[in-house]
């Protein structure tokens, strides 16, 4: 197409086994770009179609064949020279974990390789009655039997398929957790990269789709090579000179944040009973670099290389040839469970990759189980002989693999913290809309709390990462403890991020690049003249349409809130000692946010939808 | 029937879902007793029937619906006062691990409870197309759906079913290993008791039979109460006064043997590269009693109580509420893998129980993998980042659960050491007929080597436990290092044991009781007048008929042998330093054994069969 897109969407009906190809609709692409935006547009069409057929959105079973799973790249993905465009976005109509929309994003090389195979997106409908995998090589797609792969780990499956295609492909697959329909199973690509959140791996498992193999020699073409050269040079310079993308991330990976957030009094500890721990440095990126780092590891075409190749050379948690853990994983598997033991964390993280589990929800579910255990709800009989006290690395490591196979205590953990806590009758799930919140405590960072509450997919930081201004000071430093003005930041970050996830590009670029940089880059790639305002408007359109979808599932203002603990239990110690999220201030912030969004009680108004050109 | 039998055999055809009841044939019972003997008789009938239908024995697929699985008790099982009669025997026509007959034996309370439910035996034919379990309560049997149990661990399954029947039952089931058709999956009953060897759990898994629940208020009736009272009093006295059953086993469990056998230079070390280890006491029954024993644990009606309730209170291998490990498990999971770490062994043993794996084959397979790794055949890529050096407890613990789920290196381990070693092209499987040998090195105990070689199910110690005279000195002490006269001991032990396993009773009674004691006890129970010679003849008959079956599968004299290492590699250190099994002496011993048996090249002669009244 000469606009960064390959121009083709592969549609696969797993129920019938039929495949067909749709053209990318340029009108849609101009309004929603690719990746997340185009996927949201398609999901909305499915929902309308279902309603016409008499299937209400609320009756869509996340693990039924009516769920739709979409893999999407955008105009930037796989474009040589585009800074850090090695990612893809995955969405499904409905998440088994939350009942809201499912959405996840991953790096590695799979996204670019999908485009090299000739397609921008893959839409998966229906469900197979036997294990299959999808092969897409040089424009030709086929479904193949995967009975020999079913039951295999992520690493086995990837290695077997890579060899079968002589290493010329990239493999995205599910592990045992996805096959066993664990509510927060991930889709894994290139061994260690995860489209982790909201259980997209379980959706894939419910369809009996084990893997998608992509590769080929197609390359995306761009519209304006000269402008592109100029825009990328400027962007790369900014990325290089930026303290986060130029130094912090390359040097210590995302785990550089452990000490930063802990010292801000916002690193949740022991299922959010605290927000600070004096020994957090034991599990920091700095400590990891000193003791367990083998080398850095970059996604396709990335200049930052925040990935970590790591190993634990000996001891009970030995793992060689591992990757990560990322900041979020260190926090969830370590700080949140009280396991201040980087070796056990690396092991647990490795098992999450091997078995295909979202580390944030996994660690959070274990932390929740530990609180249930310490409060006498979960018993030693439930855990079958393992103490679920906070800080027990055995519970952590055993809990991970038992979750993937849903045995023992894993049968509770696999449900996610919300349903598990309901079963045991104690309100200690630290989740929003059922999605476990990540590693920033709103009691110490007020803006991120509003983002968690209003994020369409549930408790999520990358929907609108206000931590950047509130803590890191990018693009400017604001006070994390105030409520004023945060609504505007949340809205802008959510909109901008929606565009980035539709580009599809790495969110970390936004530490260094603003909407104007994205406008220059995307205008050069697509040939469509876009300004900074267009970039934000596209994101706002995507965000509003996504909100319309979740409204259909019954989510509205009542669900745009935070767990009780954050309002009621003050941080017990550390820099934010005594802080809660003030219910009154939170509600004010939320009202301000709704006003800025043009929403009433979490629902977009007709006026706003018209303004954005959403049908 | 008034002869210890309940008189009824339940036959279940899982393919059609039909159940019927057969009478126990007294004529057969007089010739073969119950348990193993009656099962061998039935399996022989099936084989003859199959041949009539045109299915050759060699074409019987161990995991096909043509395999037959039999659970058997005998006239002593569940008889109050009969010393240690809490066991049952399991057989299948063919083992997935060996291709020979499958045979295993277990304690707990399941055997007696089957009789209390009204049946002596259960014969399982065919295969279900969906997970089911079998319920037998007070004479009424039904198949029930088990889709909610499929995928569950042994502990979960047992607990769920016990609760469903208000704790009035006993549960035998398979774990994930059996479902996943691991070649040496066990059938587990009463949580920690295993019918472990030859993969009977995989046979059960292939039939999609998850569990058998038994219970009721029937009780076996005996023929001669007065004689019985006298016989049991005498037997119990002997058991109490015997140094092994009266002191060693109650005090230290079976693990009392660790130091004894190590000091005899016959405790195989690092996949049988050695036969002695100076730190074996670190993993002995004495050390277990000192550090990890919570209390003793007895099977139904047992006065010995050799079972161990154990726990590891903290550290990376924490396990609370565990049982065992037995001597064999300590050896295979510990000494044979070089993991001289009782905590890691307890953990690995616990996982074998939880997942339903035979500990002997599991540990031996890991030991074999370690030798393959150290010799450069198995790579770090195969093990996905875990060093398989001897002595690494991580490889041990990870290896166990990965085997149950057949992921990573587990996909090789699950095949058993013989097939794994073949794949990697190195002759280091320490097995006979594909069954991994247990914890007594024939280089230091010559008689047990002849027993391993000639045991119908493959490398097995409990087929004819000549360790009793050779090492322990019961019923008399003989020199373990000589070959002379061993053939006769092997034959007698194999025959007597066959009777014990058909009684069905605990083999440990034979430390204290001889054929004459069994004659008195069984005569009183059955009312059939039996002398010591009859006891041995019944056993010989069983053993010969079992041999006829394995001949049909193609096993004969060429398979009655030992692994190359035992003939060629001398013991490197310890009390038996320099010892091998002399090939020449072994062959002489074997010829003598065949002569005593009336066999030619491992095949019973017509004359012998006529003499024994085998049709």
Q: What is the pLDDT of residue A296?
A: 94
β-pairing, A140-145 with A170-173?
Answer: unpaired
User: How far apart are alpha carbons A107 and A119 in whole angstroms?
Assistant: 17
- Cβ distance A407 to B176 less than 8 Å, yes or no, reads yes
Q: What is the pLDDT of residue A12?
A: 98
Q: Does B320 touch chain A (CB under 8 A)?
A: yes
- % of chain A with per-residue pLDDT over 70: 100
Extract the tokens encoding A142: 């086929």
User: How far apart are alpha carbons B164 and B158 in whole angstroms?
Assistant: 10
CATH 3.60.9.10 positions along chain A are 8-215
B420-437 per-residue burial string, b: 16 or more CB within 10 A, e: under 16: bbeebebebbbbbbbbbb
- Cβ distance B408 to A322 less than 8 Å, yes or no, reads no
pLDDT digits (tens, 9 = 90+) for A213-222: 999 999 999 9
pLDDT digits (tens, 9 = 90+) for B277-315: 999 999 999 999 999 999 999 999 999 999 999 999 999
The tally of CA atoms less than 13 A away on the side-chain side of residue B259 is 11
Q: Which of B385, B394, B405 sits opposite A405 (nearest CB)?
A: B405
Q: What is the pLDDT of residue B321?
A: 93
Extract the tokens encoding B255: 């693990």
User: How distant is the alpha carbon of residue A151 from its chain centre?
Assistant: 24
The answer to whether the beta carbons of residues B543 and B494 sit under 8 Å apart is yes
Query: Peptide bond before B325: cis, by omega within 30 degrees of 0?
Result: yes
**pTM for the model:** 0.95
- Cβ distance A152 to B322 less than 8 Å, yes or no, reads no
Residues of chain B in contact with residue A320, where contact means CB-CB under 8 angstroms, are 380, 385-387
Among B385, B399, B413, the strongest candidate for a mutation testing the A interface, having the largest count of A CBs within 10 A, is B385
Among B160, B407, B414, the strongest candidate for a mutation testing the A interface, having the largest count of A CBs within 10 A, is B407
Q: Does A356 touch chain B (CB under 8 A)?
A: no
Q: At A121, which helix (H) or strand (E)?
A: strand A121-125
Q: What's the DSSP call for residue B295?
A: E
Extract the tokens encoding A38: 């185009």
Q: What is the pLDDT of residue A1?
A: 62
Q: Where does residue A54 rank: exposed (0-12), middle (13-18), buried (19+ CB within 10 A)?
A: exposed
Q: What is the pLDDT of residue B384?
A: 87
First to last CA, chain A: 26
Q: What is the pLDDT of residue A384?
A: 87
User: How far apart are alpha carbons A486 and A499 in whole angstroms?
Assistant: 20
Q: What is the pLDDT of residue A572?
A: 98
Q: Degrees (nearest 5) of the Cα angle B290, B295, B299?
A: 130
Q: Does B205 touch chain A (CB under 8 A)?
A: no
Q: At A238, which helix (H) or strand (E)?
A: helix A225-241
Could you tell me which chain B residue has the CA closest to the CA of A353? B384
Could you tell me which chain B residue has the CA closest to the CA of A404? B405
Closest CA to B75 of B32, B137, B42, B110: B32
What is the third-level CATH fold of A446-611? 1.10.599
User: How far apart are alpha carbons A425 and B451 in whole angstroms?
Assistant: 58
**B157, β-bridge pairs:** none
Query: Peptide bond before B483: cis, by omega within 30 degrees of 0?
Result: no
Closest CA to A198 of A93, A110, A339: A93
- Cβ distance B320 to A387 less than 8 Å, yes or no, reads yes
Among A174, A188, A292, A316, the strongest candidate for a mutation testing the B interface, having the largest count of B CBs within 10 A, is A316
Closest CA to A364 of A422, A261, A439: A439
pLDDT digits (tens, 9 = 90+) for A292-331: 999 999 999 999 999 999 999 999 999 999 999 999 999 9
**Mean pLDDT over residues A135-150, rounded?**
98
- Cβ distance A386 to B354 less than 8 Å, yes or no, reads no
Closest CA to B154 of A180, A408, A399: A408
Q: Nearest CA of chain B to the CA of A563: how many Å?
A: 32
The ipTM (two decimal places) reads: 0.92
How many Cβ atoms sit within 10 Å of the Cβ of residue B464? 26
Q: Does A80 touch chain B (CB under 8 A)?
A: no
CATH 1.10.599.10 positions along chain A are 446-611
Confidence tier at A90 by pLDDT (50, 70, 90) = very high
Q: Which of A156, A321, A394 sits opposite B408 (nearest CB)?
A: A156
Q: Which residues contact A206 (CB under 8 A, 6 or more apart)?
A: A62, A63, A64, A65, A67, A96, A127, A181
Which residues 381-410 of chain A have a CB within 8 Å of chain B? 381, 384-387, 392-394, 401, 405-408
Q: What are phi and psi of B488, to 5 degrees?
A: -65, -45
First to last CA, chain B: 26
Q: List alpha helices for B461-569, DSSP H.
A: 467, 486-500, 515-526, 532-552, 564-568
Q: What is the pLDDT of residue A457?
A: 98
The answer to whether the beta carbons of residues B410 and B181 sit under 8 Å apart is no
Closest CA to A133 of A228, A31, A204, A190: A204
Spans of chain B, pLDDT less than 50: none
A582-605 per-residue burial string, b: 16 or more CB within 10 A, e: under 16: eeebbeebbebbbeebbbeebbbe
pLDDT digits (tens, 9 = 90+) for A201-242: 999 999 999 999 999 999 999 999 999 999 999 999 999 999
Among B405, B406, B410, B414, the strongest candidate for a mutation testing the A interface, having the largest count of A CBs within 10 A, is B405
What is the third-level CATH fold of B8-215? Aldehyde Ferredoxin Oxidoreductase;  A, domain 1 (3.60.9)
CATH 1.10.569.10 positions along chain A are 254-436
Q: Tell the residue number behind the tokens 């109490």, with chain if given.
A: B240
- Cβ distance A321 to B380 less than 8 Å, yes or no, reads yes
Residues of chain A in contact with residue B153, where contact means CB-CB under 8 angstroms, are 384, 407-408
User: How far apart are alpha carbons A187 and A352 in whole angstroms?
Assistant: 11
- Cβ distance B318 to A411 less than 8 Å, yes or no, reads no
Residues of chain B in contact with residue A310, where contact means CB-CB under 8 angstroms, are none
The answer to whether the beta carbons of residues A375 and A271 sit under 8 Å apart is no
Contacts of B578-585 with CB under 8 Å at 24 or more apart are: B579/B265, B579/B275, B579/B443, B579/B444, B579/B481, B580/B443, B581/B442, B581/B443, B581/B446, B581/B449, B582/B483, B585/B446, B585/B483
User: How far apart are alpha carbons B49 and B70 in whole angstroms?
Assistant: 17
The answer to whether the beta carbons of residues A282 and A292 sit under 8 Å apart is no
Q: Secondary structure of chain A: what % helix, strand, coil (to 5)? A: 45, 15, 40
Residues of chain B in contact with residue A354, where contact means CB-CB under 8 angstroms, are 384, 407-408
Q: What is the pLDDT of residue A167?
A: 87
Query: Peptide bond before A504: cis, by omega within 30 degrees of 0?
Result: yes
The answer to whether the beta carbons of residues B74 and B40 sit under 8 Å apart is no
Q: Degrees (nearest 5) of the Cα angle B83, B86, B92?
A: 130
- Between B167 and A578, the more confident residue is A578
CA distances from B515 to B495, B496, B504 (A): 10, 7, 14
> Selecting from 3.40.50.2020, 1.10.569.10, 1.10.3720.10, 2.130.10.10, what CATH number does the domain B254-436 have?
1.10.569.10
- Cβ distance B407 to A381 less than 8 Å, yes or no, reads no
- Cβ distance B381 to A350 less than 8 Å, yes or no, reads no
Residues of chain A in contact with residue B152, where contact means CB-CB under 8 angstroms, are 407, 411
pLDDT digits (tens, 9 = 90+) for B350-389: 999 999 999 999 999 999 999 999 999 999 999 988 999 9
Closest CA to A65 of A11, A124, A17: A124
């Amino acid at each position: 197409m000469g606009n960064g897109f390959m121009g083709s969407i592969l549609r696969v009906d797993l129920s019938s086994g039929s495949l067909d190809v749709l053209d990318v609709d340029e009108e849609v692409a101009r309004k929603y770009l690719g990746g997340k935006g185009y996927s949201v547009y398609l999901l909305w069409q499915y929902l309308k179609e279902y309603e016409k057929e008499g299937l209400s959105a609320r009756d869509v079973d996340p693990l039924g064949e009516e769920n739709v799973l979409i893999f999407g790249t955008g105009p930037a993905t796989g474009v040589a020279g585009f800074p850090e465009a090695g990612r893809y976005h995955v969405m499904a109509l409905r998440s088994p974990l939350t009942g809201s929309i499912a959405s996840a994003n991953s790096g590695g090389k799979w996204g670019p390789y999908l485009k090299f195979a000739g397609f921008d997106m893959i839409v998966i409908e229906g469900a197979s009655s036997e294990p299959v995998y999808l092969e897409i090589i040089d424009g030709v797609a086929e479904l193949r039997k995967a009975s020999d792969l079913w039951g295999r780990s992520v690493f086995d499956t990837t290695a077997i398929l890579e060899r079968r295609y002589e290493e010329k492909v990239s493999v995205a697959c599910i592990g045992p957790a996805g096959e066993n329909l664990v509510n927060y199973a991930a889709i894994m690509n290139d061994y260690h990269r995860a489209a982790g959140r909201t259980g997209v791996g379980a959706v894939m498992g419910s369809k009996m789709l084990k893997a998608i193999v992509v590769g080929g020699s197609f390359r995306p073409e761009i519209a304006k090579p000269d402008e592109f050269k100029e825009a990328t040079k400027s962007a790369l310079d900014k990325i290089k000179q930026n303290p986060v993308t130029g130094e912090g991330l390359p040097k210590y990976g995302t785990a550089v944040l452990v000490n930063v957030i802990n010292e801000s009094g916002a690193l949740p500890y022991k299922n959010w009973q605290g927000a600070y721990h004096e020994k957090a440095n034991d599990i920091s990126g700095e400590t990891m670099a000193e003791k367990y780092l083998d080398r850095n590891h970059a996604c396709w075409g990335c200049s930052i290389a925040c990935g970590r190749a790591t190993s634990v050379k000996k001891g009970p948690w030995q793992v060689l040839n591992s990757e990560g853990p990322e900041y979020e994983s260190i926090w969830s598997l370590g700080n949140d469970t009280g396991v201040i033991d980087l070796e056990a964390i690396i092991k647990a993280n490795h098992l999450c990759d091997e078995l295909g589990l979202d580390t944030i929800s996994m660690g959070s579910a274990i932390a929740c189980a530990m609180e249930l255990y310490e409060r006498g709800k979960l018993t030693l009989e439930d855990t079958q002989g393992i103490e679920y006290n906070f800080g027990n690395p055995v519970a952590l490591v055993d809990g991970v693999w038992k979750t993937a196979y849903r045995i023992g205590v894993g049968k509770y953990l696999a449900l996610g913290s919300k349903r598990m806590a309901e079963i045991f009758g104690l309100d200690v799930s630290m989740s929003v809309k059922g999605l476990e919140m990540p590693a920033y405590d709103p009691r110490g960072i007020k803006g991120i709390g509003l983002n968690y509450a209003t994020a369409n997919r549930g408790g999520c930081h990358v929907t609108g990462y206000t931590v950047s201004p509130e803590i890191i000071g990018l693009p400017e430093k604001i006070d994390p403890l105030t409520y004023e003005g945060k609504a505007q930041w949340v809205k802008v970050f959510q909109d901008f991020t929606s565009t980035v996830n539709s580009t599809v590009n790495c969110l970390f670029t936004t530490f260094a690049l603003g909407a104007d940089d994205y406008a220059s880059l995307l205008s050069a790639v697509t040939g469509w003249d876009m300004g900074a305002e267009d970039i934000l408007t596209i994101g706002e359109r995507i965000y509003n349409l996504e909100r319309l979808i979740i409204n259909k599932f019954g989510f509205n203002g009542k669900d745009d809130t935070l767990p009780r603990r954050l309002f009621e239990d003050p941080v017990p110690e550390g820099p934010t000692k005594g802080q809660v999220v003030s219910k009154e201030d939170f509600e004010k912030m939320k009202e301000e946010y709704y006003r800025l969004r043009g929403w009433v009680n979490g629902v977009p108004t007709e006026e706003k939808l018209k303004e954005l050109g959403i049908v």
